[in-house]
Every structure is written in structure tokens, then in C-alpha cells.
């Protein structure tokens, strides 16, 4: 197995400011824990006391330190330490062999074509791994992108495993993700996630993936997603109640962990009809899920794959905890699968394309009712994959969206105007999704500035040509969505949070209409299957929260820094002061009107309307294979 040093050991160097308006610069700090388990309790500080002078000094020191590191990196790039080499060693060897008379025809199968044939060598950035620390890896990759361009090789030390291709060019990203997608696997990512996702959709190799994608995608049909809107509303309402209590008590709130819990509750119900109730429950299965999630993130940044050493699993208390957590999750999933099978056996409902069981509209229920012929191990892998894919991503989007809103009160108040006029005091319905256009643009813009995940990982399965550069089979590749989304040549005022860049009368931005310069949900055959689900979930949550509260960063809160696991986390949470809006309190009411569809099946009227219209609601893009 390629070492998991893989992902991200290497590129963690500091950067200099790359844009005068770069808002992230002053905030970057590092710490390793992600959304913290057990932070559900509101902070005891009300954050309204005098500003902590020590805190200010600490922040100033941090900023100074970061600036120094970035300046150092810039100087090193300028001095040629990360030198763009004209010819890599492969080319040099090829040239040497040509010189001593080996005919080209023998060299081509070994080396592919070379610049003599109109192809170029890939620019090389080389450096010392020791110097590269202190920031999330995608930040220095941005700096190197500005120096070396849309495709370069990052090499550390003599080992082959320390060589990565960094892609920041939209046309090369399109080639890898869409046009020649079959020539690429998930590589390192699949190796890191194997222990928790097995052969679930995200890591799966082509053969398994094709079968499972064909089985799972139909489960996320329009009626299903429409039926989920009530669930999103209920989960957000529970969060509103927590925030309401905090507002009454004058307590600041750590929002990242609350968003993590809210989205866990949503995805548990949506995927296998399980109520984690994590907003009020910290133990058992909730703890197990977080143990496994943190382990996946730790493995992605660990230099040595300790967990592969057989004895280590048995003696390391941490690994024993992970194994126990996995066992608890697997047992719970097995129970849920068994319960669901019994329900399906007993029901008389005819399965059809847009099948939804009203009592249990979960994806698991759809799969079992469809007669999906699959081993229980594969089914568990698929469920775990969706649990993880649909949980941390949505939580991260909400976290960074609210962070950005605290920086731009003008955007927040425009958002509140739209929500007031579209929703009033109601719970959102599927029809509202296309009306809440500004809300949707705010989320698109948040996903541009904070893409989740910030890089997509691939490995070449055969020799290929990326633009003018030939590459060999077995190359590990990072497509830096961060670089694509922050590229100063592509975006006007790239670092500004400006939802207005997406006109309300224009299409909802996606990878197709932005020609792969914008990849909020990936692209090509491995594009996210939950894009519409996630878009509606985040629209509902943002709309319901801003309708009821104002959000400000708490005074004296730690500076907001970024750190990476699969998604971008904050380093120390994001502590906010919540105040009720001065409008009369809004007590939302659920739309209870139902219509009968197909005999004994009922759906909300809005869901039925959506289904009847045959349209994809809310303009959210989806290119499913
Ligand atoms: C805002 C929330 C979300 C974001 C930003 C997001 C983003 C992404 C991205 C960028 C990919 C492509 C990964 C790659 O090409 O390597 C992906 C794949 C995937 N996502 Fe999402 N996702 C979100 C929510 C969800 C939800 C809610 C679900 C499940 C209900 C989900 C399930 C998946 C699955 C199964 C894949 C793998 C698809 C395949 O390989 O065929 N995602 N997601």
C-alpha cells in the first residue's frame, strides 16, 4: 500500500499572502482536532466582557508567525529551491539512452512519448519535508500553484511515494474527472478509508462502483428528496430551540459541533431511519460514530500506517477503541437492516421508480424494497459511506457559511429579507427551494471559498496525457478544488465573499456551466450523488436559522483557523453570540396537508407537486450516470 503519508504529510508549508484581500491570512492557525465531540454545551462565558488583552496579543503573535513563515516560503521559491526543472529524471534517462543509440521504438513503451514529440516535461517542485508544516496542506499548494502553474509535480525526498501531481487547471480536471474518468481510481483515498467504508461508493473500484452506483442513485429520486425537506426542517427546529435557550441565558455557542450533530441526525434518519438524537445525546453510538470519523481523519494525516501493523491493533488503546466503535456501528447497522427487511416483507406496497415508504423513507428501505441483491457487508459499506459523505460535508458548509455571514452583515440582512418574504413563519417546502435564490447563492459562494473536500484524490490506472504533459500509470494526483475556486485569473476579487457574483436570474452554478472551474460536488461519473439532498438541507438550515437569529463572532473567541481532515474544519471551533431577531418570535408550523398517492402511500402536497411537475426542483444540478 502506498503510505498514507500520502495525503498530506507533505504539502504543509506556510505561504505568503497571495492576494491583498485575502481574508483567511490572518486567521490561519493549526490544531489537530476536528469538530469536537462533547462541545454541545454552550460556553459558560457570555463573551460580552471586556476584550481579553492576552487573547489579542496571542492572535497578533500568531499572525506575525504565519506571516514570517509565508515570507520564508516565498523567499525559498524565489531562490529556486522549489526549482522548475526542464527535464525530470525519467526524461534525462530517456535522453541518455537515445544518445547512446537505443532506437525510439524501444523506448516508447517504457517511457511514453517525450517533448521531442511535442510533449513537455511536468514542472517539478521539490523540497524538504521538514520545512513544510504549520498549515492545512491546501494553503501551501496554492502558493506553489501560483509559481508553477496548473499542473506540477511535488516531490519530497528520493522515494516514489513522495511524488504527487497537483492539478489546478480546469481543463485537466475535466479530463481526469469526466473525459477519461475510467483511467483513474481513488488511489490513496481508498486505502485510507478502507477500514470504515470498505468497498462503499466513494472508494470503490470501477467494477463494484458501477453496480452499486446503479443501485443507489435511483434511491435519491425527487420524491425522496422532497420527503426529506420535512426532516431538514425538524432537525433545524431542534437546533433553533437550543440556540433560543442560549440566547435567553446569554451564553455563547460553539456552532461547528452543533452543525455536526444536526447533520448527523439528518443523515441517520435519511440513510437508515435511525435517530441518533445527537443534539441531546453524547454516548453510545454517537460516540462510536465520532471515534470512527476522527480515526479516518487521523489516518489521512499520519506519516506511518501504524494500523496496518497486525499486533498494533491489539495493543494500542486507541486502535482497540476504534475496533470497538466499528463493531458497535456494524452491529447497529445489521439490526437496522434486519428490522427494515421485516418491514419490507410485511408491506404490500408495489415497488416502482419513485417508491417512498412514508413511515420509513430511508435509502436503506428503498434499496431493500427494490430487491437489491447485495451482501450485507456491501450494504453496510454503502450505508457507512453515505453516512460519512453526507454528514461532515454538510456540517462544514454550514459552519463556514455562518462564519462568512458574521463577516458580512450586509449579506446576512439581505438573506434575512429574502427568507422573511418567501417563508414568513412557515417550515420550508420543496417549492420554496427554487424561490430562496439568494440563500442558494450564499451557499454556492461559501462552497467556492471553502470547498468540501478541498482536494479530490485520484491515481492513474494507465499512461495518459494531461494537457501537453504525458504521465505514467500509478501517479498519485491531487485535484486542488481550493486552487480552482481561488484562482485569481478566473475569479474577480477571488478572496471576497460575494454571493452577488452569481446573478439571481442566471443558472445555479455548477461544474458544467462553470466549465470545471467550480466543483462544489465534483464532476463526471464520480460526482456526488447527494448534491440535491445537500443543497436543500443547507438551504433549509440557513433559512430557518437566519430567520430567527442574528449571529456574531463571540468577543474573546479564539481566532478561527482552518485544519483539514476530509473536509475543512476550524481549529478551535467557532464560538458565536446568538441574539434573537427583533421581529416577533416565529413559531413555525409544519405543513400537514397530505395527498394519497398509489393507494396506501401518502406524501406531503409539495412533494407530490414536485413529483407531478417532473422537474428537478430548486435548479440544483445533478448529473447522475
Ligand atoms: C454539502 C454537502 C456535500 C458536498 C460538498 C459533497 C461533495 C462531494 C464531492 C466533491 C464528491 C466527489 C468526490 C470525488 O470525486 O472524489 C462527492 C461524492 C459523493 N458524495 Fe457527496 N457531498 C455532499 C453531500 C452528500 C450527501 C448528503 C450524500 C449522501 C446522501 C453524499 C454522498 C456522496 C457519495 C456516495 C459520493 C461518491 C459518489 C461516487 O463515487 O460515485 N454526499 N461528494
User: Mean pLDDT score of the chain, rounded to an integer?
Assistant: 80
Cα 510 to middle of ligand 1, angstroms: 14
CA of 450 to the centre of ligand 1 (A): 15
Band (pLDDT 50/70/90 cuts) for residue 546 is very high
Check if the beta carbon of residue 404 is closer than 8 Å to that of residue 560. Answer: no
| Distance of CA 80 from the midpoint of ligand 1 (Å) | 39
Residue 388 CA to ligand 1 center (angstroms) comes to 9
Task: Show the CA angle centred on residue 36, arms to residues 35 and 42, nearest 5°.
Answer: 110
Strands 151-156 and 124-127: parallel
Grid cell digits, residue 571: 481549529
User: SS3 for 455-517, per residue?
Assistant: EEEEEECCCEEECCEEECCCCEEEEEHHHHHHCCCCCCCCCCCCHHHCCCCCCCCCCCCCCCC
Distances (CA, A) of 509 to 445, 486, 517, 621: 9, 15, 10, 8
pLDDT level of residue 7 (50, 70, 90 thresholds): very low
Ligand 1 atom with the smallest distance to the CA of 535 is: 1
Residue 606 pLDDT > 80 = no
The pLDDT of residue 339? 93
For ligand 1, the distance from its centroid to the CA atom of residue 394, given in whole angstroms, is 10
Nearest atom (ligand 1) to Cα of 220: 30
**Phi (first) and psi of residue 595, to 5 degrees:** -125, 155
Of 4-8, 66-70, 92-96, 116-120, the one with minimum mean pLDDT is 4-8
CA of 528 to the centre of ligand 1 (A): 4
> Is pLDDT at 498 greater than 80 in this prediction?
yes
Q: What is the mean pLDDT of residues 520-547?
A: 98
Q: Which residue's CA is the nearest one to ligand 1's atom 24?
A: 390
Ligand 1 centre from 531 Cα, in Å? 7
Question: What is the pLDDT confidence band of residue 566, given thresholds at 50, 70 and 90?
Answer: confident
Known binding-site residues for heme equal: 528
pLDDT at 506 over 90: yes
Nearest CA to ligand 1 atom 22: 528
- Which atom of ligand 1 is found nearest the CA of 200? 35
Residue whose CB lies within 8 A of the most ligand 1 atoms, among 214, 389, 482, for a mutation test: 389
CA of 386 relative to ligand 1 center, distance in Å: 8
Alpha helices in 79-221 (DSSP H): 89-99, 104-111, 138-148, 170-174, 188-197, 206-216
Nearest Cα to Cα of residue 129 among 36, 8, 247: 8
pTM of the entire predicted model:
0.80
- pLDDT attached to residue 69: 61
Mean pLDDT for the stretch of residues 61-76: 61
Number of the ligand 1 atom closest to the C-alpha atom of 386: 29
Among protein residues, the one whose CA lies closest to atom 6 of ligand 1: 521
Q: In the structure, what pLDDT confidence band is assigned to residue 610 with cuts at 50, 70 and 90?
A: very low
> Which residue has a Cα nearest atom 4 of ligand 1?
393
Mean pLDDT of 78-105: 63
- Lowest model confidence (mean pLDDT) among 65-69, 121-125, 574-578: 65-69
**Which atom of ligand 1 is least distant from the CA of 382?**
35
Closest protein CA for atom 21 of ligand 1: 528
**C-alpha span between 165 and 142 (Å, rounded):** 13
In this predicted structure, what is the pLDDT of residue 269? 96
User: Ligand 1: which residue has its CA nearest to atom 3?
Assistant: 393
Query: Which one, of 233, 246, 242, lies nearest residue 579 by Cα?
Result: 246
List all residues whose CB is within 6 A of at least one atom of ligand 1: 201-202, 213, 385-386, 389-390, 393-394, 397, 452, 456, 520-522, 526, 528-530, 533-534
Q: Which atom of ligand 1 is nearest to the CA of 456?
A: 16
Distance from the CA of 428 to the center of ligand 1, in angstroms?
24
User: CA-based angle 605:610:611, to the nearest 5?
Assistant: 95
Please say if the pLDDT value at position 367 is more than 80. yes
Q: What is the rounded CA–CA span in Å between residue 493 and residue 510?
A: 19
Which residues sit opposite 127 in a β-bridge?
Answer: 156
Res. 3 pLDDT band, cuts 50 70 90: very low
Residue to probe by mutation, ligand 1, list 188, 445, 528, most atoms within 8 Å of CB: 528
Amino acid at each position: 500500500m502506498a503510505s498514507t503519508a500520502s495525503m498530506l504529510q507533505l504539502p504543509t508549508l506556510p505561504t505568503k499572502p497571495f492576494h491583498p484581500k485575502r481574508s483567511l491570512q490572518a486567521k490561519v492557525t493549526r490544531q489537530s482536532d476536528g469538530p469536537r465531540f462533547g462541545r454541545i454545551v454552550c460556553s459558560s462565558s457570555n463573551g460580552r466582557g471586556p476584550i481579553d488583552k492576552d487573547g489579542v496579543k496571542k492572535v497578533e503573535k500568531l499572525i506575525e508567525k504565519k506571516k514570517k513563515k509565508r515570507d520564508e516560503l516565498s523567499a525559498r521559491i524565489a531562490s529556486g529551491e522549489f526549482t522548475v526543472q526542464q527535464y525530470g529524471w525519467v526524461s534525462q534517462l530517456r535522453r541518455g539512452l537515445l544518445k547512446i543509440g537505443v532506437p525510439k521504438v524501444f523506448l516508447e513503451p517504457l517511457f511514453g512519448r517525450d517533448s521531442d514529440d511535442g510533449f513537455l516535461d511536468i514542472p517539478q517542485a521539490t523540497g524538504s519535508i521538514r520545512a513544510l508544516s504549520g498549515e492545512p496542506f491546501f494553503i501551501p499548494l496554492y502558493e506553489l500553484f501560483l509559481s508553477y502553474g496548473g499542473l506540477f509535480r511535488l516531490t519530497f525526498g528520493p522515494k516514489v511515494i513522495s511524488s504527487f501531481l497537483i492539478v489546478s487547471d480546469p481543463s485537466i480536471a475535466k479530463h481526469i474527472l469526466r473525459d477519461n474518468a475510467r483511467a483513474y481510481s481513488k488511489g490513496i483515498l481508498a486505502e485510507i478509508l478502507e477500514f470504515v467504508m470498505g468497498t462503499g461508493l466513494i472508494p470503490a473500484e470501477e467494477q463494484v462502483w458501477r453496480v452499486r452506483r446503479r443501485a443507489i442513485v435511483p434511491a435519491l429520486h425527487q420524491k425522496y428528496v422532497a420527503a426529506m425537506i420535512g426532516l431538514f426542517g425538524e432537525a433545524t427546529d431542534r437546533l433553533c430551540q437550543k440556540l433560543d435557550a442560549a440566547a435567553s441565558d446569554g451564553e455563547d455557542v460553539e456552532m461547528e459541533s452543533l452543525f455536526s450533530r444536526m447533520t448527523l441526525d439528518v443523515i441517520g434518519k435519511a440513510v437508515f431511519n435511525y435517530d441518533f438524537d445527537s443534539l441531546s445525546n453524547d454516548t453510545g453510538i454517537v460516540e462510536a460514530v465520532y471515534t470512527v470519523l476522527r480515526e479516518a481523519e487521523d489516518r489521512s494525516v499520519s506519516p506511518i500506517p501504524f494500523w496496518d501493523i497486525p499486533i498494533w491493533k491489539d495493543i494500542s488503546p486507541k486502535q482497540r477503541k476504534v475496533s470497538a466503535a466499528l463493531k458497535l456501528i456494524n452491529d447497529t447497522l445489521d439490526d437496522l437492516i434486519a428490522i427494515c427487511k421485516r418491514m419490507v416483507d410485511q408491506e404490500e406496497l408495489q415497488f416502482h421508480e419513485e417508491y417512498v415508504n412514508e413511515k420509513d423513507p430511508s435509502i436503506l428501505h428503498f434499496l431493500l424494497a427494490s430487491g437489491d441483491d447485495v451482501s450485507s457487508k456491501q450494504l453496510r459499506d454503502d450505508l457507512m459511506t453515505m453516512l460519512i459523505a453526507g454528514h461532515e460535508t454538510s456540517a462544514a458548509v454550514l459552519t463556514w457559511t455562518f462564519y462568512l455571514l458574521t463577516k458580512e452583515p450586509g449579506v446576512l440582512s439581505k438573506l434575512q429579507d429574502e427568507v422573511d418574504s418567501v417563508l414568513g413563519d412557515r417550515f420550508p417546502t420543496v417549492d420554496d427551494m427554487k424561490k430562496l435564490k439568494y440563500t442558494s447563492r450564499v451557499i454556492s459562494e461559501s462552497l467556492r471559498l471553502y470547498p468540501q473536500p478541498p482536494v479530490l484524490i485520484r491515481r492513474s490506472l494507465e499512461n495518459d496525457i494531461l494537457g501537453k504533459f504525458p504521465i505514467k500509470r500509478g501517479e498519485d494526483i491531487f485535484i486542488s478544488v481550493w486552487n480552482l475556486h481561488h484562482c485569481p485569473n478566473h475569479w474577480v476579487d477571488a478572496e471576497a465573499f460575494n454571493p452577488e457574483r452569481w446573478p439571481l436570474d442566471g443558472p445555479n452554478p455548477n461544474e458544467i456551466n462553470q466549465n470545471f472551474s467550480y466543483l462544489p460536488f465534483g464532476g463526471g461519473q464520480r460526482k456526488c450523488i447527494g448534491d440535491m439532498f445537500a443543497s436543500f438541507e443547507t438551504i433549509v438550515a440557513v433559512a430557518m436559522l437566519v430567520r430567527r437569529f442574528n449571529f456574531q463572532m463571540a468577543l474573546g473567541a479564539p481566532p478561527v483557523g482552518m485544519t483539514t481532515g476530509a473536509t475543512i474544519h476550524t481549529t478551535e471551533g467557532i464560538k458565536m453570540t446568538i441574539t434573537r431577531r427583533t421581529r416577533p418570535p416565529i413559531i413555525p408550523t409544519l405543513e400537514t396537508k397530505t395527498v394519497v398517492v398509489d393507494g396506501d402511500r401518502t406524501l406531503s402536497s409539495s412533494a407530490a407537486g414536485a413529483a407531478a411537475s417532473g422537474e428537478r426542483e430548486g435548479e440544483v444540478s445533478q448529473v447522475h450516470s
